[in-house]
Amino acid sequence: MGMTLPSETVGAGMGHEEMGHGGGMDMQMGPTMGGPIEGDLFKNGREMVVDGMNAKRPLPPYPKLRAIHSTAPDPSKPVREIRLTLDGDMERYVWFLNNKALHEDDQIHIRKGEVVRFVMINRTMMYHPMHLHGQFFRVINGQGDRSPLKHTVTVMPMATTVFEFEASEVGDWFFHCHLLYHMHNGMARVVEYESFTPDPDTQSVRHELFELDPYVYGSGDFLSHMTEGYFEIAGIRYSGLVDWEIGWGNVPETEYEIDLLGNYFHNRFLSLFAGAQLSNNEAYPDGRGIFGFRYPLPLLIGVTGWVDTEGEFRFIAEKAYPLTDRLHLFGEFQYDTRLDYEWAAGLEYVVSKELSITGSYHSEFGVGGGLTVRF
Ligand SMILES: [Cu+2]
């Protein structure tokens, strides 16, 4: 059976004697459970160890928990299965269920009298303690009829956890990651019984769930031979960005490129952008409109590609590699159909959250050093 269970996940860290049945919830879930979950990145507990994901942090003892009485739901009740992927973007600090933040999609509808089953697929490297208000659920942990009742269950990195409950508590109930930073930035929903109408006071503040302040951030290198950086104002799906590269080392006249871009974040990996590039480069004397994408390759190699209004294109690959906690090596390679190749590499020593000392070599502007400022 392709379904991954909490018992398998935890079993990987605890030895086989703790794992219970290899197939997990074989006798519990009945025919409605279906086949493997599409897109589940986590196949079995063993892989988590192989991938170095078996964190030293102790895992919760879920397989050992056993209810005193049977918690099995009435088998005659209809089952509603709700599949939720848990995702996030650490850079912009937005957290998703099914690739949407609370502010984009706030409701999960259920009906009184059915068995509601949540299948939570964690695609992040983080632990998400998912908490449901209003009712206890039973965590499917390999204990069969004695699956334990809880109101919060931690979904481990790259693992899938299933819980279910008989829907009996009519109301609007908040369901959220209990890491409150994740909750506040999108990893939450309102579980809403279809027959329930909130009172007017609740209705009147309900829209506030949809608000999330834009996030402003940026970074700039101010070096003896050049400066480059960006400034960005980002919401959940869109951002506005200004970035620059201005160099004066090794060139007769200061050269600049300034991009004004609007970004659309499709998911945590892919973003698309459109905007304009202003420069005093003789290859593009009038500037150009640009349309492109960003996507990280494995090993966190950041790739940017664009086409412009002149029919030319540019490709950029960049990578930062931490040699120690504070000393980072970085490199960038760029190919532009009119400007040809350009590359840069350097070292950055992180002094504080906001400040680094940076030295770099740039193929146009030569060698220099200075400060990197972040906010
Ligand atoms: Cu979380």
pLDDT digits (tens, 9 = 90+) for 269-280: 999 999 999 999
Q: How far is the CA of 315 from the centre of ligand 1 (A)?
A: 34
Question: Residue 203 contacts by C-beta under 8 Å, 6 or more apart in sequence?
Answer: none
* Same-domain check for residues 363 and 297: yes
- Report the CATH number at residue 99: 2.60.40.420
Q: How far is the CA of 236 from the centre of ligand 1 (A)?
A: 16
Share of the chain above pLDDT 90, in %: 70
Q: How far is the CA of 156 from the centre of ligand 1 (A)?
A: 10
* Same-domain check for residues 237 and 141: no
Q: How far is the CA of 130 from the centre of ligand 1 (A)?
A: 7
* Same-domain check for residues 133 and 237: no
What confidence category does residue 57 fall into, taking pLDDT thresholds of 50, 70 and 90?
low
Q: How far is the CA of 96 from the centre of ligand 1 (A)?
A: 9
82-127 pLDDT, tens digit per residue, is 999 999 988 888 999 999 999 888 899 999 999 999 999 999 989 9
Other beta carbons less than 10 A from residue 342's beta carbon? 17
Cβ burial, residue 339 (10 Å; 0-12/13-18/19+): middle
* Same-domain check for residues 304 and 332: yes
Share of the chain above pLDDT 70, in %: 85
Reading the block at residue 51, the tokens are 């991938």
Question: 325: number of CA atoms within 13 Å, CB side?
Answer: 3
Q: How far is the CA of 375 from the centre of ligand 1 (A)?
A: 24
Can you say how many angstroms the Cα of residue 327 is from the centroid of all Cα atoms in its chain? 26
* Same-domain check for residues 55 and 163: yes
Can you say how many angstroms the Cα of residue 5 is from the centroid of all Cα atoms in its chain? 22
Residue 1 in any domain: the answer is no
* Same-domain check for residues 225 and 159: no
* Same-domain check for residues 202 and 265: no
Q: Has residue 235 got a pLDDT over 80? A: yes
Backbone angles phi, psi at 337, to 5 degrees: -65, -20
Give me the residues near ligand 1 (ion), CB cutoff below 5 Å: 128, 177, 179, 182
Q: How far is the CA of 124 from the centre of ligand 1 (A)?
A: 9
Distance CA 101, CA 153 (A): 20
Q: How far is the CA of 174 from the centre of ligand 1 (A)?
A: 14
pLDDT of amino acid 196: 92
160-197 pLDDT, tens digit per residue, is 999 999 999 999 999 999 999 999 999 999 999 998 99
Reading the block at residue 224, the tokens are 């003896």
Strand order in the sheet with 107-110: 107-110, 188-193, 172-177, 128-132, 152-155
Q: How far is the CA of 7 from the centre of ligand 1 (A)?
A: 20
Distance CA 232, CA 219 (A): 9
58-75 pLDDT, tens digit per residue, is 677 888 899 999 999 999
Reading the block at residue 328, the tokens are 């980072």
Distance CA 257, CA 239 (A): 20
* Same-domain check for residues 130 and 250: no
When mean pLDDT is compared across 39-53, 85-99, 213-227, 320-334, the lowest value belongs to 39-53
Q: How far is the CA of 222 from the centre of ligand 1 (A)?
A: 36
- Closest to 152 in 3D by CA, of 166, 141, 144, 163: 163
Residue 67 in any domain: the answer is yes
Q: How far is the CA of 103 from the centre of ligand 1 (A)?
A: 16
Q: How far is the CA of 97 from the centre of ligand 1 (A)?
A: 10
- DSSP for residue 351: -
Among 179, 210, 241, the domain boundary falls at: 210
Q: Is the dihedral of CA 249, 331, 266, 229 positive or negative?
A: negative
Cβ pair 318, 329 in contact under 8 A: no
Residue 63 in any domain: the answer is yes
331-341 pLDDT, tens digit per residue, is 999 999 999 99
Q: How far is the CA of 214 from the centre of ligand 1 (A)?
A: 20
Cβ pair 173, 196 in contact under 8 A: no
Among 184, 210, 236, the domain boundary falls at: 210
Q: What is the mean pLDDT of the chain?
A: 85
Give the structural domain span for 277: 215-374
Question: 268: number of CA atoms within 13 Å, CB side?
Answer: 19
Q: How many angstroms separate the Cα of 106 from the Cα of each of 128, 244, 258? A: 18, 38, 38
Three-state secondary-structure class, residue 33: helix
Distance CA 114, CA 76 (A): 9
Residue 83 in any domain: the answer is yes
Distance CA 29, CA 117 (A): 10
Give me the mean pLDDT over the 3-30 stretch: 35
Q: How far is the CA of 122 from the centre of ligand 1 (A)?
A: 9
Residue 196 in any domain: the answer is yes
Three-state secondary-structure class, residue 348: strand
When mean pLDDT is compared across 49-58, 82-91, 241-250, 318-327, the lowest value belongs to 49-58
Q: How far is the CA of 266 from the centre of ligand 1 (A)?
A: 20
Question: Residue 184 contacts by C-beta under 8 Å, 6 or more apart in sequence?
Answer: none
pLDDT of amino acid 29: 36
Q: pTM of the entire structure? A: 0.76
Distance CA 99, CA 352 (A): 33
Among 180, 210, 240, the domain boundary falls at: 210
Reading the block at residue 88, the tokens are 């996030």
Q: How far is the CA of 8 from the centre of ligand 1 (A)?
A: 21
